[in-house]
Amino acid sequence: MLELWRQGVILEGRKTRPAQVRLLQRGSRTLLEIIIQEGRNRQIRRVAQQLGYPVIQLHRTAIGLIGLQLPGSTPLPKGQYRYLKDFELLFLQEQINLKAVQEPVSGF
């Protein structure tokens, strides 16, 4: 099952990009670390369901270069926020620009 995920799975007629999948804990509830290279709508939940392993709990730790906490810092308490660093803002702007270029213009 993990190897299939690592190679990519067909979702809505398109294969997902390969994912890094690491088994952290095995038992009645298996704990996985999954790093994906794209973010289709509910991708992790849908791939897991398709492979026969529904997601019980999901915790996002980062989006691209932006992590929940900065390296060497303490975790943010629940409900708190931090300001983004300049490189994180640049990363987000690049992602927005890439998405705009990739999406076809419709309605014409």
SS (H, E, C) the chain: CHHHHHHCCEECCEECCCCEEEEEECCCCCEEEEECCCCCCCHHHHHHHHCCCCCCCCCCCEECCEECCCCCCCCCCCCCCCCCCHHHHHHHHHHHHHHHHHCCCCCC
Instruction: Write out pLDDT tens, residues 52-98.
Output: 888 999 988 888 888 877 777 787 888 888 888 899 999 999 888 87
Q: For the chain, which residues make up each domain, given as ranges?
A: 1-59, 64-108
Instruction: Write out pLDDT tens, residues 15-41.
Output: 999 999 999 999 888 899 999 988 888
The verdict on domain 1-59 having CATH code 3.20.20.105 is no
